[in-house]
Amino acid sequence: MISSCGTDPAIQSAQSFGLMAADFENNTDKLAEDIYNSCIRKLSYFSVASSQGTTQRDNALANCQTLNKPAVGEAKNANKIVTDYGTSIGKLAVDDIVKFDDEFNNIKNALNKFSIPSANGNVTLPQGAVNTGTQIANLIFGWVVSQERKGTLREAIICTDKPLQTYTKGLENAFRDGYINGVLNDEEDRAKSYYDFYITQLRQLGTSRDFMELERESSEVLQNFVKRRNAAESYIAIINKTAQAHTKLKDVFLGDSEPPSEEYCNIYLKAKESNSTAINSVHQRNSLDTPLTLKELAQVQKIALNYRKEIEPLLQKMEQELK
């Protein structure tokens, strides 16, 4: 049994996921909101000197409202899988109760609807990510209804590792293609075209002061794109490092034991309220509930320390760039 002592390295490692998850969720929510905000900012770079330009701007605004605005909630839900799982791991580590909001039960529908619109088409989550994201949600839901505690920590990390790797990779690709190379690039291209046109006009017809003022404004706008792109890259790095640390924990928690069967893990990953008894019974007879050796505890502690060292500066950078 993993000790409940607050200084136990295994507990500290699991808590690291929970402590980081809250800060990560705040930052990822801001990033998700920029899917819509970027679209609205782009409207400033439409020339409305003609009726055609006005129509283009109005059509773009309509797309922001009908496509980008709903995408914000979908992106937040997609990120919530990772952050809620991290929070739940932290709670299991200290015998706390795992909770979730009512909307979490509809996560599969939310993941299926996930779509980030861009000039190159809508970017959705791969079906594999939808399926594994739903499995992780089922696991958390199972913990809630069965009121499971720390006793499931070891098998939770072991059984969830493969779905987590698939899900985080799908999430990374969706945000890279949909936000960085999609929404953000669309806004940046529109801004560059806008400023290039007027800077050229002022270079020929305007005063030096007007030219320099517009050039300075253009530079500040482009720097903001760099900041938001850096924030998104930090987000992706955090997802990757979380997945890597999770696999390292899985390897330590599994040790020399045989990996559990897919059937065994599916009791957790396909858990519903109706089979909470199965969750309890399989935990009672599982063979993974054995003490960690001193060597294993040292390995877990090293994973926890390295994880915090890697994630904290990325969280700080992400928060700074999103201000």
For residue 300, pLDDT over 50 is answered with yes
For residue 2, pLDDT over 70 is answered with no
**CA separation for the pair 99, 109 (Å, rounded):** 20
**CA separation for the pair 107, 270 (Å, rounded):** 13
Amino acid letter, 314: L
Stated as kind and residue range, the H or E segment containing 116 is strand 115-116
Give the model's pLDDT for residue 64.
97
For residue 274, pLDDT over 50 is answered with no
Give the model's pLDDT for residue 272.
54
Give the model's pLDDT for residue 267.
77
Number of H helices, E strands in the chain: 11, 2
Give the model's pLDDT for residue 143.
64
- DSSP-based three-state secondary structure for 279: helix
**CA separation for the pair 40, 44 (Å, rounded):** 8
Amino acid letter, 132: T
Give the model's pLDDT for residue 207.
84
Give the model's pLDDT for residue 4.
38
Q: What are 128-157's pLDDT values in tens digits?
A: 999 999 888 887 776 655 555 445 677 778
Q: What are 177-215's pLDDT values in tens digits?
A: 999 999 999 999 999 999 999 988 888 887 888 888 999
Give the model's pLDDT for residue 93.
54
HSE of 79, CA atoms in CB hemisphere, 13 A? 25
